[in-house]
Amino acid sequence: MAQRILILGGGTGGTLVANRLRHRFPPAQAEITVVDQDDAHVYQPGLLFVPFGLARAEDIVRPRGRQLDSTIEVVISPIDRVDIETNRVHLANEVILDYDVLVVATGAVLVPEETEGLLGTGWMKTAFTFYNLEGASGLADALAAFDGGRLVVNVVDMPIKCPVAPLEFCFLADWYFRERGIRDRVELIYATPLDGAFTKPAAAKALAGLLEEKGVELVTEFNTGEVDEEAGKLVAYDGREVAFDLAVVVPLHGGAPYVNRSPGLGDELNFVPTDDHTLQSRVRPNIFVIGDAANVPASKAGSVTHFEGEVVVENVARFMKGEALDASYDGHANCFIETGFHKALLIDFNYETEPLPGHFPSRVGVPLLQESRLNHLGKLMFQWFYWHVLLPGRDIPGIGSAMPLAGKKKEGVAP
């Protein structure tokens, strides 16, 4: 009898795992169902470009079902809760789905309501986020109308999706106001809860250098307690204030709300406790987790989800055959960082190895931790790869799940 694989979430992780599992198991062996609350698959890396008029909202959204193999069932409904005791998922439309294996791929959600004042009178007027379509589009209009003053980019607290995106926003804002010829009338400020521009030392140094070069003021260890939109200022818990005319805020993130309604499934922030290497949940052996929904100490980023995919699929297959899991995810992440003026830099790292300079994926390749036009082209080309290679579950030649070390320069050591 066919086993029932139920995948919650039809975004990056849910889609690529569903398609890869279908390559492994024909319909006679596995019924695969994907549930999502809506039919809009957003290419999230594209959100960064919308505020600057470099992409339009409608260009980065496609229907979910069309990204999935035709033998995969798609159910559009919000999820009410998962009952991990009876292996059942209750949907908001009162349908109940039974599963043999569950894959949680519902990502992270924004919780701006957890920051005092953020959803106040200035929300979507003087305070925006670019982390969803509505905010990114609204911000495009606000930036077009902005003719001078203090633009503050603020990360409220970690974890957030794509931790480099707020830095990229700063770099692109510098480019954008230079192009408009009003850069001298705009103050750019980046306020972060971290003690540097980024978490990992080598990358933090390179990125702090770029901020300085582009005239962006860096405010560190700023833990936003309140956004006072009437007065136009961010107030930190320690009393420090940063004034703004326009605030671009990355709100707090959490797991999907149904996780909170599912006893035993999630942690305090509604992320699912997950083994760092096997990606099996720690709550039940027949529940696996991919992407932002997991609590693993990797970036919440599409590249992480992509590299996790191979491991999740292998381990789901082993679990179904009653074999021991041994496929191992190493925390591999890989991000193009857009730096403006048609350039980008690339970082590549995992749980153990911080982003290092050198070349990717081997000694011959694109430069790491260094601005180049080639990396910018790579970033632009990636959208095509996303829809046509990554989501259908095809392999990208030469780029596997495990982080490559060839081509990377350790300090003082030639590659």
Partner 1 sequence: MTSTTIAGHAVEVNAEGFFDEPGQWSEDMVPELARAEGIDPLSDRHWQVIRFMRAEYEAKGTGPTVRVLGKTSGVSVKELYQLFPKGPAKVAAKIAGIPKPRGCI
Interface ranges with partner 1 (CB under 8 A): 157-159, 163, 194, 198-200, 221, 223, 225, 237-238, 252, 268-269, 297-299
Q: Which two tokens stand for residue 48?
A: 């960064």
Please report how close the Cβ of residue 380 comes to partner 1 at its closest, in angstroms: 25
Q: The tokens of 108 are what?
A: 């992270």
Q: Interhelix angle for 12-24 vs 302-320, to 10°?
A: 40
Nearer to partner 1, 181 or 297 (CB): 297
Measured between alpha carbons, how far is 150 from 152 in angstroms, rounded to an integer?
Answer: 6
**Which residue number, 89 or 304, has a Cβ lying nearer to partner 1?**
304
Both tokens assigned to 166 = 């707020």
Cα dihedral 97, 98, 100, 106 in deg (nearest 10): 30
State the pairing for strand pair 186-191/216-219.
parallel
Q: CA 126, CA 248: separation in Å to the nearest integer?
A: 8
Which of left, alpha, beta for 407 (phi over 0: left; psi -120 to 50: alpha)?
left
In this structure, are residues 337 and 331 in contact, taking their beta carbons and an 8 Å threshold?
A: no
Whole-angstrom distance, CA of residue 354 vs CA of residue 199: 9
Maximum distance among all Cα pairs of the chain, rounded to whole angstroms = 69
For 149, other C-beta atoms within 10 Å of its C-beta total 14
Nearer to partner 1, 6 or 345 (CB): 345
CB of 265 to partner 1, least distance (A): 16
Backbone dihedral angles phi then psi of residue 378, each to the nearest 5 degrees: -60, -45
Least distance between partner 1 and beta carbon 321 (Å): 31
**Cβ distance to partner 1 smaller for residue 177 or 222:** 222
Nearer to partner 1 among residue 19 and residue 350 (C-beta):
350
328 close to 308: Cβ distance less than 8 angstroms? no
Least distance between partner 1 and beta carbon 190 (Å): 16
Integer angstrom CA distances of residue 150 from 145, 187, 269: 14, 5, 32
**Closer of 48 and 203 to partner 1 (Cβ):** 203
Q: How far apart are CA 151 and CA 303, in angstroms?
A: 29
Name which of 94 and 268 has its Cβ closer to partner 1: 268
Pick 271 or 386: Cβ nearer partner 1: 271
Least distance from partner 1 to the Cβ atom of residue 151, Å: 25
User: What DSSP assignment string belongs to 386-397?
Assistant: IIIIITTTPPBT
Phi, psi of 230 (to 5 degrees): -65, -50
Question: Which residue number, 58 or 238, has a Cβ lying nearer to partner 1?
Answer: 238
Which lies closer to partner 1 via its Cβ, residue 143 or residue 208? 208
Q: Which residue has the tokens 């403006």?
A: 340
CA 265 to CA 267: how far, in whole Å? 7
